[in-house]
Structure 1
Amino acid sequence: MSKLFFIFLLTLTSSVFLFAREIKVKSPDGKIEVRIHQNKQLTYDVLSGQNALLQGSVIDLELENGNSLSAGLAIRAVNRSEVRTEIVPVVPEKRRIIPDRYNQVEIRFRQPYSLLFRVYDDGVAYRIVTHFPDSITIKNEAAIFNFSLTKMIWYPQVQPRTDADVFHTSFEEHYTIKPLDSIPAESLIFTPLLIETSTSAKVLLTESDLVDYPGMFVKNNAGKGFTGEFAPYPLEEKMVGGEFKQWAVTKRAGYIARTKGSRSLPWRVIIISSADTDLPSNDLVYRLGSPTPLTDVSWIQPGKSTEEWIIGSNLYNIPFQAGINTDTYKYYIDFARKFGFERILLDAGWSDAMDLFKITPTLNMDELAAYAKSQGIKLSMWTLAATLDRQLEPALGQFNRWGVDFIMTDFIDRDDQKMVNFHHRVAEACARHKIMLMFHGSFKPAGFSRTWPHALTREGVLGSEYNIWSHRAAPPHNVTLPFIRMVAGPMDYEPGLLQNGTKETFRPIGNYVMSQGTRCHQLAMFVVYDSPMQFFSGNPSTGLQEPEFMELLGNIPTVWDETRILEGKIGEYIITLRKKGTDWYIGSLTNWTGRSLTIKLDFLDEGNYELNAAEDGVNASRYAADYQLIKKKVKKGDTLEIKLAPGGGFGGRIRNVD
C-alpha cells in the first residue's frame, strides 16, 4: 500500500539523447550518484560523496536466440522521475510508515529493452525490463559489480553437497571475513553479502522482487568485485534424502529462465551506509518489493508461537509420556495461553512426512483442534515442501477444518526459477485459504513479504537448531546477522532456549539443547531480530518454573511502529530500540566480549514510565542461565547502565504508566 505525496515526471525524448554517452542521476539528498555509460557495453559507476564505490560495473542480458541488451545500445528515450511517497506496510516489520524517496531514470533502448535505475539516500537499485511480444528464453544475465576501495568482505559461501549440484543449499552459513583478492574464484556465494570499504562506508549487495526468475549467487570477479551466477533451469529431478526428502536436480538446461517477453527482472540492490548502525533498520529491500495483490488482509495476524522440535519435546515434571501425542500438545497449548502466545506449532512428526493425511497414531487432531479452540490458541503445522506441493489444495482444506492459520514448509534448498515459482504458488494458495506461512530451507525473502504479507518470516539463516549438533550458532554469529542477513528481510532464528552455556561449558547435546551465551542473550533476540512470527524454542517445563521471565518474554511484540539502532558494530554488539504504541523495548546482544553500556533515555516523551527488564546476572560469565529481573521507575533524561556478560544480552520493556 502506498500513499503518494509527490511525483514529478520529466520525460526527455530529444534526439540529443540518442547519442548520450553518460547519464547521471543523484539521490534526493545529493550524496549518492550513479553514472551510466553507453559504450560497447552498458556500464555504471556508483559514487558516495567523492568516493567511487563501484566503477565500470557491467549490465547485460543474453537471450537464447542470440539477442542481447548490449547488441546495439542506441538510446530511444531517457525518462526521469522524482518520487516522494510513503508505504504503509500490511505487516510493519520495522516501522509503521516507510518513507520511500528516490530519483529514477528509465533508459529506453531502440531494441526491446529498458533499464531502470533508482537512487535513494541509502542505496541504489537497477533492473532490466524486456518488451518482447512473445515469451523469451534467457540464457544468462551479466550482473558484474566491480567495487572500489574494498577492505574486507563478509560473505556466506555455499558448501557443496554429495547428493546434488552446487546450486542446492539451505542458505544457512556463517559469514566468512576475507579481503576480496583472497576469496577463491570457485567459491559460490549467496547474498546478502557485505563489503567493508577503506572509507567509513559499508556496501551490502543483494536483490529484491524475485519473481519467475532464479536467485542471484555471486563469484569473485578476478579480485575486482563479484559477478552474478544463476542456477540454470532444472530439466530433470530425482527425490533424495532420508526421512525428509526433497527434489534434487539431475539435469539442467543451457538457460536460466523461460518467461514472459514483456516483464521486469529482479532488482539488483546496492545498499550504502555510512555507519554499521544504519544497516539493521534499513528496509530498502522491502521498498523494492512489488505491492501486494491482496485486498482483504484482515486475517493476517502476526504474533508468537511455541516450537517443540529443537528440544525434542523433552518435557519434565509432567504426569504423561512426552512426545508427539495429544497430551504433549495440550501442555503446549496451556503454556502458550498462560504466557501470551497466540499459537503453537506442530513440527515435523505430526504426520508422515510424505503424506499429510497419514497422521501419527498417538495424535488425535480433532480432539487437539477442539481443545486449542476452547483455549483461544491457534494451531500451526509443519509440512515437507515436496509433499505440500503434491497435496496442496486438499491439505490446505484440511488445515482450514482444523482451524490452522499458519503453516511452515521445509526442505526446499534451491532458488532456481522453478523453486522461486513454487514459493509464489504456495503463497497464492495460502492466501486463498487465509493461512499464513513461512518457508524453511529457503533463500532470503528479497521483498517477498511486501508482495505476500501473510508470508510472515523466512529461514535462510543459521539459527537456533544448530545448537543441537554444532558450535556454529555462537554469539559472534548472532550479532552479525542483524547487520547482513536481516537487511534482506525477516528471519526465523527461533530463539528462547532456556538451557544456556558459556563458551567453556557449552556442549551440543540432542534432546538437552542449550544455547551459546546467556539467558538474556536469548531474550534480547526477540527485540533485535525482525520476525513478525517469532518462535519460542525453549522448554516449557523450565519456563513454567520462571513465570516472571516468561511473562516478560511473552509481552514482547513482533511488529513495530519504529526501529532505531542506538549503538552497534558488525559481529561485536548491538543495542536495538523498538516502539509499539506508547511503549519502548530494548534489546542488546554482545559477542564473547563482556561490555558495559550506557543508554540515554532521551527518546522517551515526558511522563512516567516503568522499566521491566532482565539483565545478565553477576555470575552469568560462569553460569550462563544466571539473570536478574529489574523493575523500576524511569523518565526522560535518565540513563540506563547495563552490563553484558561474555555472550550476554539485555532485554526489556519501558511502559508508559500515566
Structure 2
Amino acid sequence: MENKIRYYSLLIGFLGFLGLHPLYGNDTLGKYKITSPDKSITMELSQDVNGQFIYSFKGKNRQLIDPSPLGFKLENGNVIPYAGWRVETASRREVRDVWKPIWGKRAKVDDHFNELVLRIRNQASNLLQNIQIVARVYNDGIAFRYEVPSTEIKTVGVISELTAYHFTDNFTAWYYNGENHNIGPELLSESDGRRLPPMTVKADGQNYLAIHEAYLIEGEPLVLNAEKGERVFTLSSKPAKLYPGYKSAWRVILYGTTPGALTDSHTIELLNPTPLPEYDFSWVKPGLALWDWRMNGAKVEGFSYEMSYPSWVRAVDFAAAQGLRYLVLDANWYGPEFHSDSDPVSGDKVNDVRKLIQYGKEKGVGIWLYLNDIGGKKFPIEKTLKQYGEWGAAGVKYGFMRGNHEEKNRWTQTVTRLCAENHLLVDYHDDPVHPYGQMRTWPNAVTRELCHAQLDGHHVFVPKTFVTAVFVNMVAGPLDMNNGMFDLRQGHTTRTDCNLPVPSTLTAEAARTLITFSGATILPDIPEFYRKYPPLFRFISEQKMPWVESKTLAGEIGEYIVMMRQTKDAFLVGAATNESGRKLSIPLTFLGSGKYEVEIIQDGVDAHYLTNRETYSLNKKTVSMKETLHVSLAPGGGVCMTFKPIKK
C-alpha cells in the first residue's frame, strides 16, 4: 500500500515580497496554483485588484471556470476575506494514500490529491480576524472549503456565501429535480432561478463537470441560483453563522473527459472522514433485497400476496433459494403509517415481524423494517432503533422525513448514527437530503431515493429518465430507484399500489439493477415473475456485492449507458437506452487474460418498451479481451452480459 504524505510550508513575508517561492516556482505574489497529481487539471487562487479572493479552474488545458468569487457577506455588510485581508501563510500537502471501502464501486480507491491551505488575516477587523481556504485537487476534480480557526473568539452572522461558478462558455447542463424528471438539457444562459445539485455540465465532447458538495456537517444543503441570460451560478444556501472552529462543506467540482467518469468518481466520499475508531462496520453487507410493497395485491397460482406473514415467508424462502440477502418490509407493519398512535415497537403485526426475523435468520435472509417521522419522532428514536437491533433486524427504511433540508440533514445524521450503534443498515426515501459522501464515515448508510422510484413515478418516468439520472443524481452517491420489475404486462395489474407497468423491456429492467449503484438493490416484483424468466433473473442474482471494480464503459447523458461491474467470480455488463433503439460496439478490454464464456441477453428483434416488453434472445459464445461485442437495444431496452473465465 502506498501511504505517503508530504508537507510544505511557505511564509508569505520577505520571500513573498520578492516573489520568490523556493518550492513552487509558479506561485507569484497573491497568486497560487495547485495542480492534480497527474498534472491534468489546475486550480488557481488569487486576490483581484479590488481585494476579492477568487478561484478559477482548468481541465486538460481548457479553461472551464473563469475567476469566481470566494467568501461570505456578513450581517454587518462586510465581506470576508476582501480588501484589507492578506495571505499570512500558505502550506501545501501531497497525499498518496489508498482507501479500501467496506463496500463501494470498487475494492480499492486511490486517495491522491494535492492540497493548499491559505491562512488569510485582517488584524484590523473588529470581528473575525482569521479565515482559512483549504483547496484540494484530485485527478478527477477540485474541492475547497472555508475554515475559521478555533483560536478566534467571536461569532458572526452571515447574509450569504459568495461562492460562485463563472463558466467560460454557454455550456449545457442537467440538474437533480426532486421527484420529477431532471431539468435539462439546458444551456447555462437559459437556466433561471433555483437549481438543485448535482448539476452535470457538458462543455464539449471531451470535457464534463459536476457541481456538488461533500461532508455537510451543518447548515443548509447546497442550492444553486441562476440568472437567465448569464452563465454564472451563485449559492442561495448559506450557513447561519461563522464561529470558532467552523468548517463549511466542501464545494466540489468533479471533472472528466466522459460523463461516465463523473458517475464512477469516489472523490465526494474521499472528502469525508473515515469512521470513528469506536465503530466497527464489519457487519455491513451490501446486497439484493426483495420488497413487500410492490408484491401487495399480486395474484398468482391461487395465492394472493399481502403485506402479511404468509407472503413474507414465501418471499424469504425465495430469497434464500436464490441467494438474495434481504427482505424489506414497508409501511403499515406496526399500524397505519400516518396515524400518530401507531407504535413502532408494539403496534399491529409486531409479533409476526419478530417471528419473521427469526425465520429469516434460519434461512440466511435479513429483514428490514420501515419507519417514518411520525413513529420516529413521537416515540423515542433511541429506544425504537435499539429495539430493532435487539430483535435482530437487518436495516431500516426511513420515509417521509419532515422539516426543511437543514433540519432533515441533522435528523438524518442522528438516525444514521443510531442505526450504526444498533447494527442496522439504513435507506432514506421520500425527498431525502442529497448524499454528500456519508458512506465513507457511515458505511451502514447504503442508499437513498434521490429520485422518484420508477414504479411511483409514472407521471415522469420514461426511458430517458433513467439514462439521465445515472449521470446526474447518481453522481451524488448510491441511488435507490427500485429497478427490476418483471411484470410488464399491458394495462393495469392487480397490485394494490401503482399498478401500471414500467415503460421498459425485461432486459432493460434487469440491466438497470446492475447499472444503478446502490448498497441495497431493492427488487420490486414477486418471486413467480422472477422464476418466469430464468436467464434474466440469473443475471440479477449474479450481482454479488461488494464490487471488485466498476467502470462506465460508454454513454451519453439522456441517451444511453453501458456499465461494467466485477464480482469475485464474474464480469457483469448492463446497457440501457432511451426511447431510441441503438446498436453498440463494446470493446472487452476490461476482461483479464485468457478466455471467457459470455451469456448475452438482448431485446427481441421486435421488442419495444411500450408494446412488446417481454421478448428477448439469449446467446453464448467464447471471447477474449481483444474482441469487441456488437449488441442491439430496442427502444427503451437494454442488454445484459455475464462473463465467466474458462478454466484450463
TM score, norm. by length of structure 1: 0.87
Q: State which drifts further: 216-225 or 630-639.
A: 630-639
Say whether 1:305 aligns with 2:289. yes
Say whether 1:214 aligns with 2:220. yes
Q: What letter corresponds to residue 175 of structure 2 in structure 1? A: Y
Using the alignment, how far apart are the partners of 1:146 and 1:16 within structure 2? 34
C-alpha distance 308-336 of structure 1, shift in aligned 2 (>3 A): same
Q: CA deviation at 1:543?
A: 1.8
Q: Deviations over 1:370-398 (max 9, x none)?
A: 32222221110111034324431221122
Counting only pairs closer than 5 Å after superposition, residues 414-453 of structure 1 correspond to structure 2 as: 416-440=405-429, 441-453=431-443
Say whether 1:75 aligns with 2:65. no
C-alpha distance 338-629 of structure 1, shift in aligned 2 (>3 A): farther
Aligned to 2:528, the other structure's residue is in SS state helix
Aligned to 1:299, the other structure's residue is in SS state coil
User: What residue in structure 1 maps to residue 186 of structure 2?
Assistant: 178
Using the alignment, how far apart are the partners of 2:526 and 2:304 within structure 1? 15
2:576 pairs, out of 560, 564, 589, with 589
Aligned to 2:512, the other structure's residue is in SS state helix
CA contact (8 A) 1:601 1:636 kept: yes
CA contact (8 A) 1:408 1:438 kept: yes
Aligned to 2:455, the other structure's residue is in SS state helix
| CA RMSD, 1 decimal | 2.6
CA contact (8 A) 1:17 1:78 kept: no
Q: CA deviation at 1:301?
A: 0.9
Q: CA deviation at 1:139?
A: 4.0
Q: Deviations over 1:573-630 (max 9, x none)?
A: 1111121224211011111111122223333233342223422122322411212333
C-alpha distance 429-203 of structure 1, shift in aligned 2 (>3 A): same
Using the alignment, how far apart are the partners of 2:628 and 2:63 within structure 1? 40
Aligned to 2:265, the other structure's residue is in SS state coil
Q: CA deviation at 1:361?
A: 4.9
Aligned to 2:236, the other structure's residue is in SS state strand
Counting only pairs closer than 5 Å after superposition, residues 196-345 of structure 1 correspond to structure 2 as: 196-198=202-204, 200-221=206-227, 223-230=230-237, 256-257=239-240, 261-294=244-277, 295-309=279-293, 311=294, 313-319=296-302, 321-345=304-328
Q: Deviations over 1:10-31 (max 9, x none)?
A: 1001404777322222222223
Say whether 1:48 aligns with 2:32. no
Q: Deviations over 1:534-581 (max 9, x none)?
A: 100123232233344323312212431112222211111111112122
Q: CA deviation at 1:286?
A: 1.4
CA contact (8 A) 1:78 1:105 kept: yes
Aligned to 2:264, the other structure's residue is in SS state coil
User: What residue in structure 1 maps to residue 329 of structure 2?
Assistant: 346
User: What residue in structure 1 maps to residue 68 of structure 2?
Assistant: 57
Say whether 1:484 aligns with 2:472. yes
User: What residue in structure 1 maps to residue 164 of structure 2?
Assistant: 144
Q: CA deviation at 1:326?
A: 1.0
Q: Deviations over 1:392-450 (max 9, x none)?
A: 12211221233101111111266643321211111111111111112112122111111
Using the alignment, how far apart are the partners of 1:50 and 1:540 within structure 2? 53
CA contact (8 A) 1:18 1:76 kept: no
Using the alignment, how far apart are the partners of 1:67 and 1:261 within structure 2? 18
Q: What letter corresponds to residue 211 of structure 1 in structure 2? A: I
User: What residue in structure 1 maps to residue 101 of structure 2?
Assistant: 89
Using the alignment, how far apart are the partners of 1:506 and 1:648 within structure 2? 21
CA contact (8 A) 1:413 1:442 kept: no
C-alpha distance 95-633 of structure 1, shift in aligned 2 (>3 A): same
2:588 pairs, out of 601, 624, 628, with 601
Aligned to 1:289, the other structure's residue is in SS state coil
Say whether 1:466 aligns with 2:456. yes
C-alpha distance 602-197 of structure 1, shift in aligned 2 (>3 A): closer
CA contact (8 A) 2:196 2:223 kept: yes
Q: CA deviation at 1:173?
A: 4.2
Q: What letter corresponds to residue 8 of structure 2 in structure 1? A: L
CA contact (8 A) 1:523 1:553 kept: yes
Aligned to 2:344, the other structure's residue is in SS state strand
Q: What letter corresponds to residue 453 of structure 2 in structure 1? A: G
User: What residue in structure 2 maps to residue 533 of structure 1?
Assistant: 520
1:576 pairs, out of 530, 549, 563, with 563
1:122 pairs, out of 140, 144, 161, with 140
C-alpha distance 552-363 of structure 1, shift in aligned 2 (>3 A): farther
CA contact (8 A) 1:230 1:416 kept: no
Q: What letter corresponds to residue 38 of structure 2 in structure 1? A: D
CA contact (8 A) 1:316 1:541 kept: no
C-alpha distance 60-100 of structure 1, shift in aligned 2 (>3 A): same
Using the alignment, how far apart are the partners of 2:270 and 2:489 within structure 1? 39
Say whether 1:103 aligns with 2:114. yes
C-alpha distance 183-6 of structure 1, shift in aligned 2 (>3 A): same
Say whether 1:193 aligns with 2:199. yes
- Structure 2 residue ranges without an equivalent (≥5): 18-28, 122-128
Aligned to 1:350, the other structure's residue is in SS state coil
Q: What letter corresponds to residue 230 of structure 1 in structure 2? A: S
Q: What letter corresponds to residue 305 of structure 1 in structure 2? A: A
Q: Deviations over 1:78-132 (max 9, x none)?
A: 11122222111122x2111111222211000122210011112221111001113
1:626 pairs, out of 615, 627, 631, with 615
Q: Deviations over 1:454-493 (max 9, x none)?
A: 10111112331334xx242211111112222211111111
Q: What letter corresponds to residue 253 of structure 2 in structure 1? A: I
2:601 pairs, out of 614, 617, 623, with 614
CA contact (8 A) 1:95 1:563 kept: yes
CA contact (8 A) 1:471 1:508 kept: no
User: What residue in structure 1 maps to residue 176 of structure 2?
Assistant: 156
C-alpha distance 389-617 of structure 1, shift in aligned 2 (>3 A): same
CA contact (8 A) 1:552 1:612 kept: no
Q: What letter corresponds to residue 286 of structure 2 in structure 1? A: P
C-alpha distance 47-17 of structure 1, shift in aligned 2 (>3 A): farther
Q: Deviations over 1:256-307 (max 9, x none)?
A: 4357620321100111222233222122211212222154121111111111
Aligned to 2:470, the other structure's residue is in SS state helix
- Structure 1 residue ranges without an equivalent (≥5): 158-169, 232-255
C-alpha distance 271-118 of structure 1, shift in aligned 2 (>3 A): same
| Percent identical residues | 25
Using the alignment, how far apart are the partners of 2:492 and 2:575 within structure 1? 21
CA contact (8 A) 2:72 2:160 kept: yes
TM score, norm. by length of structure 2: 0.88
CA contact (8 A) 1:457 1:531 kept: yes
C-alpha distance 134-382 of structure 1, shift in aligned 2 (>3 A): farther
Q: CA deviation at 1:4?
A: 5.3
Aligned to 2:435, the other structure's residue is in SS state coil
Aligned to 2:7, the other structure's residue is in SS state strand
Q: State which drifts further: 100-109 or 388-397.
A: 388-397
C-alpha distance 319-5 of structure 1, shift in aligned 2 (>3 A): same
Q: CA deviation at 1:189?
A: 1.3
Q: What letter corresponds to residue 411 of structure 1 in structure 2? A: F
C-alpha distance 215-511 of structure 1, shift in aligned 2 (>3 A): closer
CA contact (8 A) 1:604 1:635 kept: yes
Aligned to 1:515, the other structure's residue is in SS state coil
C-alpha distance 605-152 of structure 1, shift in aligned 2 (>3 A): closer
User: What residue in structure 2 maps to residue 554 of structure 1?
Assistant: 541
